[in-house]
Chain A
Amino acid sequence: MSTIVVVGDIASQPDGSTMISKSSLCAIQAAGEFAATTGGGAVHLLLIGQGAHSAAARLSGSTVAKVYWYDAPAVARYRAPTYASVVVAAMKQIGADTLFCGASSTGKDLAPCVAALLDAGQASDIIGVNPDGTLRRPMYAGDVIADVEITTAAKVVTVRASAFAPAPTSGGAALVEELLSVGELPERGEVVGYELSASERPELSSAAVVVSGGRAVGSAENFEKVIYPLADVLGAAVGASRAAVDSGYAPNDWQVGQTGKVVAPQLYVAVGISGAIQHLAGMKDSKVIVAINKDPEAPIFEVATYGLVADLFEATPALTTAIQGVKG
């Protein structure tokens, strides 16, 4: 039996309040599945940092056993070594041997820091839990799926959000409790600046519809003229290929792929994207894929549910107008 702590990310809402992120709810779901394979240990949640208390208070209906929260000046801003020490202190107090977190940029950064402190093996970016307790994870840009076993006593797992449903936040009865003592925390650096790519659109990793543009879109202005209007009629998040991000057409955190974000929306529209394996790694589990590309041989058509061979500068605005018509 393993006792699991899930570390959750805190997302600020437009109204200034705070909430657990959706990818963290997916990590809770995966943790529950893993606990069941080990004979049913408890799953607890830990929220750290500014807004942890109010985000925790909203989770009394969660299906986890306890929701712990910790907020102090030392954790006002996320830093991996500091947060890792809080996590380890919490796990010791709780008697937990296993950590789960979402494979967000924070989770990817933090999890191995905890693994080092616990001498734990880590399975990264899991997409499934097998009945025998092994964990499924993609390797080689998703060309290969590995079933892996963590052989150390302590275990660390990061979870690909698109592969698990979010755990419910109502119907349970979780105790909400402040984590009191965490001991001395290391500092090792400070955050000196932020440059947030503010957007009114849905968040890319959890959006139901994603419209992505590639190198062929040609400029940031063309993203505005061609890609954004289609995204807006669909209520979609905007994504991009690496080539589009490298060329400065779109911000870095819009990159979809092996080394960017992984999405699996109901509908993914790829505009002027060739479909390199590294891009496919981030979107090929989408339910419906539409590709617009003028090259009929482009590899994106091998995964597209519907492919349209056309010039994107004609087809995309036409599609926007047609969908507007249908949606009224």
Chain B
Amino acid sequence: MKILVPIKRVPDYAVKVKVAADGSRIETDGIKWIANPFDEIAVEEALRLKEAGVATEVVVVTIGPEAAEQQLRYGMAMGADSGLHVVFNDELDSDLASRVLAAVASRGDYPLIILGKQSIDSDANQTGQLLAMRLNRSIATFASRLTVEGGAAVVTREVDGGLETVRIPLPAVVTTDLRLNEPRYASLPGIMKAKKKPVEQLTLEQLSVSPTTAVRIRRLSLPPKRGAGRKVADVAELVRVLQEEAKVL
């Protein structure tokens, strides 16, 4: 069984992003880019399924500019076997991403697609669900445990109120939550090997996907700043200000 794992190039989560003065875009100069952390968790889970003998091959795919090959190579340095790079320089929303990924998935045989529940840039939490529906597949989002047995995936999901376990037939799409695993680091030999692994470049035309989006960003701005607070000396002062000033007790 081959597993497909989409990876998105996103700004490092430790970076505070800045908005360009005219509100049209994010300042990307000098930003450090990483693979979306939830996608790293997806790669790790796919590799574990391969190591357990459930999967035979892990293919990573990214949609993005030439530079996004770095994140693809990172997935291969972790251990993925090969990469697909859909080269695309324009604005990408979840709708377009899901249509591209559906076209990519249809070119191969991937009973399982694992991807992050959200990307930490757009925070949209849509692509996995859109992809599953476009491919007429079963879906389990927010996975904190995944096993594959007898043509089905058993997935424990993090939901409001606790954990829910579902059994879904393959082919399926699974989106990862934080507790699914702790991703390995790419080792030095892994990084060396990844340089030689095959990456196939594709375009939207080749995939017959039109480059339209369904959601357009009109303006970007910074959130209102909270008024500065202050330090209190001790518990007694804290209780007094909560009572007299904030009036929350």
Residues of A within 8 A of B (CB): 79-81, 84, 104-106, 108-109, 111-113, 115-117, 119-125, 134, 138-152, 188-197, 205, 209, 242, 245-246, 251-253, 255, 258-259, 261, 266-267, 277-278, 284, 287-290, 296, 301, 303-310, 315, 318-319, 322-323, 326-327
Contact = CB atoms under 8 A, between A and B. Distances in A.
Contact of A305 (B152, B216, B246): B246
Contacts of A194: 162-165
Given A115-B95, A121-B214, A138-B223, 7 more contacts: A81-B132, A146-B219, A188-B168, A190-B167, A277-B13, A303-B226, A307-B229
A283 to B, nearest CB: 11
20 contacts: A105-B160, A113-B133, A121-B215, A141-B13, A143-B223, A144-B222, A145-B222, A189-B166, A193-B156, A205-B160, A252-B177, A259-B178, A277-B16, A288-B242, A289-B229, A307-B231, A308-B231, A315-B235, A319-B239, A322-B236
Contacts, number: 246
Nearest to B138: A188
Interface in B216-249: 216-223, 226, 229-232, 234-236, 238-239, 241-243, 246, 248-249
Given A108-B141, A194-B162, A141 B123 contact: yes
B161 interface: yes
Given A143-B17, A151-B215, A307-B230, A116 B129 contact: yes
A251 B162 contact: yes
A134 B218 contact: yes
Nearest to B175: A109
A305 B229 contact: yes
Looking at chain B's contact residues, the main secondary structure is mixed
A189 B158 contact: no
Contact of A290 (B17, B158, B219, B242): B242
A188 B139 contact: yes
B165 A105 contact: no
B187 interface: no
Q: In the complex, which of the residues A105, A138, A253, A305 has the most CB atoms of chain B within 10 Å of its own CB atom?
A: A305
A203 to B, nearest CB: 9
Nearest to A289: B229
A119 B152 CA distance: 28
Contact of A108 (B26, B125, B163, B213): B125
B118 to A, nearest CB: 7
B220 A145 contact: yes
Contacts of B213: 121, 151
Looking at chain A's contact residues, the main secondary structure is mixed
Contacts of A277: 13, 16
Contact of B235 (A124, A205, A308): A308
Given A245-B179, A306-B230, A308-B232, A253 B162 contact: yes
Given A112-B126, A318-B235, A197 B246 contact: no
A5 B152 CA distance: 34
B161 A253 contact: yes
Contacts of A108: 125, 141
Contacts of A81: 132-133, 138-139
Sorted nearest first, the 6 A-B pairs with minimum C-beta distance are: A121-B214, A189-B168, A116-B133, A112-B129, A193-B165, A188-B138
A139 B162 CA distance: 26
Contacts of B239: 319, 322-323, 326
Contact of B95 (A121, A259, A322): A121
B46 to A, nearest CB: 20
A290 B238 contact: yes
Contact of A252 (B120, B128, B144, B234): B144
Q: In the complex, which of the residues A117, A139, A190, A267 has the most CB atoms of chain B within 10 Å of its own CB atom?
A: A139
Contacts of B128: 112
B138 A189 contact: yes
Contacts of A261: 160
Contacts of A259: 38, 117-118, 120, 177-178
Contact of B122 (A112, A139, A197): A139
Contacts of B138: 81, 188-189
Nearest to A286: B226
B66 interface: no
A150 B214 contact: yes
Given A124-B126, A193-B165, A301-B229, A141 B120 contact: yes
Contacts of A143: 16-17, 222-223
Q: In the complex, which of the residues B121, B122, B215, B220 has the most CB atoms of chain A within 10 Å of its own CB atom?
A: B215
Nearest to B243: A326
Contact of A267 (B165, B177, B246): B246
B134 A116 contact: yes
B190 interface: no
B130 interface: yes
B214 A139 contact: no
A291 B13 CA distance: 23
B248 A266 contact: yes
A44 B63 CA distance: 38
A280 B81 CA distance: 37
Interface in B12-56: 13, 16-17, 19, 26, 38
